[in-house]
Structure 1
Amino acid sequence: MNQLRIGLIGAGGIAGAHIAGWQQLGAHVSVYSRSGAAALVEQYGIDDVGSLEALLEVSDMVGILTPTPSHYGYAMAAFAAGKDVICEKPLAETFERAAVMANTALAAGVRLFPAHVVRFFPDYELAKEQLDSGAVGVPAALELSRAGAAPAAGSWFFDEARGGGIVRDQMIHDLDQASCLAGDVTRVYAEQDPPSVDGILPRPVTAQVELTHQNGAISQLLGEWGPDTLRFSTSLRVEGPDGIISFASPRNAGGIEDEQPSENGIAGYLPELDVADSPYTRQNAEFAAARTSGKPSRVSPAEGVIAVALAEAAAESIRCGHAVDFSNEAVLALLHSAI
């Protein structure tokens, strides 16, 4: 069997987790980045490629790890070159652009894999399995939280036109989880404190999002970009007529996430685990297998598009001060295929 050749675009903090995972899977890794690649080359022994065109030439599959505004352009170039793509969340700045990415991949006969890695964290996987098995019945109320130190002051994350702010960048994980666990959404209400000024978020900042699902369930989401001393944490609680599923991190054993840097991870994203157990390793392994088999992956392009659309609806609610209607069908109507 030929060795899988992975080309990564971007050398930011998340790159190390992807590289370590791909190397664990036996792939050959190359990287193209406008800055920061030298440190990764030295640490991991990967190839540094000098241009996007060169990276596409030496890769079977491309991972886009760059800031959100660049995802669309890099993905379209990769599709034009006939390459499958794993794209970090969110897929794009708007759900319309994300839909174009999904449609272009389909037309080109290649795969687009949205990297919603929280789907691969053990406790979230277990919650999904328990719900699917009917362990607590149809979910009626969900609470999801995600908090950690804010990104560096002045970075693109705080620019609503570029990063999309806390909702699209951080809380999109829990928007995706709520949609995955409780189903289609019909109404979105959101608040942010303090408010943005001229399209720039304050630091620190919190946001709350309430989702009304088609089945009547209500999801309450809380996100926080806090002070530098704030320890990273997440929680999930699902109430059904037959019981409750809940967890909170960080935990001492088998925890989900921790703010401490690890040898094979990055601050705020990975627990202190062997790289073989990393959610990034398992995510990329599943995507690589789906690429080979042609079978659907755990996270479909349509779900990646819907997550961006939910984030946009929340942002609109924050702007207008009231709830906004949401339609999964309207989003999916933009797609040539929901697979």
Structure 2
Amino acid sequence: MTQITHLEPISGLAWSVFRGGRMEVMHALGREHADAIHAFRSLLGGSWEAQVRRADTVAAERLDAVIASTRGLLPVESQELAWIAEGAGIAERDMWARNLRGDLGRDGTGCSDIAFTTDAGVVMGHNEDGDGELREHIRLVTLDIDGDPAVTSVWYPGMLPSNAFVTTTAGLAFGMDHVPVVAPQTDGAGRHFVARHAQRQPTGEAARAALTHVPCAGGFAFDVADAAGRADLIENAAGHVASVTGRYRHTNHLRLLDGTSEGLAVSDDDEWLGESMTRLGVLRGRGTPTSAVDVFDALRIPGVLGRSEDLWTYVTTVVDTAADEILLQGSGSPWRGRWSAFARGERVQL
């Protein structure tokens, strides 16, 4: 039996908590939010509709190959998506088309991350950016599945809860930055599914291994904060992987992988590549952050904060693992809470 709780919203973000077995939770997630998923799917001229058309025409063969590869590499996460689709009453292939949007070729931009370690822990901040048309649909969900660490995710209805900011009761927090790949690896796994696989792991070591050993068909830069005191940036793009530990900033272009020599990168005159590099420059111009408040303030300044129809910051989140605190701002006022409770699906304000 699945227990479903709707918590009081925080900073304008509705929050639902699901506890129980894997199949029951994923069915319930789709069923409980079926209206939101269908509304997201049917936005007039929306990005999901465009991705379905693309998957049915120019990218059909590639889509089929990546679906098959993902099911083979990550069967649990693939089944989770099928259960969400079944619960929502929506075609599973439509859900795959939406979730593989960055694994079929060039796909937009969005998201910024900052992380650094201290003597006691890690501070990591993430801006979740995307199309302005979607800003009313983004929400929080907690999945407390038997046998897994509980996870609380910033969620796009219809997505596998994994592709935005995620934090878990294993003492981990994740931010995912889109990196464009012009030639995806069709025998890799969908990047949302690689993310979800890592976020289900019981330790930081296991999560980092998942992100480096399972190739993404497309590309993500994964930011991982570990309560044990380690911060990692891992670029996983079309089967190529590189990582760095410690202090870093990241936006939406490859910084560790040599995308030019490996045939991954878009051309230098790409509009969104230029936007990403400019945004990174603005972050660098803020100097070196020394606190969670510094990181939060940097992510909320003009030039980093997105407020246009093409690039909208849905939510800013900053985790301070040593202080066990999370700072969050969506469409409302900033909210400060207990990080460990937030990951469990408990609203504990500080």
Q: Please give the TM-score of this superposition, normalised by the length of structure 2.
A: 0.31
Q: Please give the TM-score of this superposition, normalised by the length of structure 1.
A: 0.32
**The structure with more radius of gyration:** 1
Task: Give the helix-richer structure, 1 or 2.
Answer: 1
Task: Give the strand-richer structure, 1 or 2.
Answer: 2
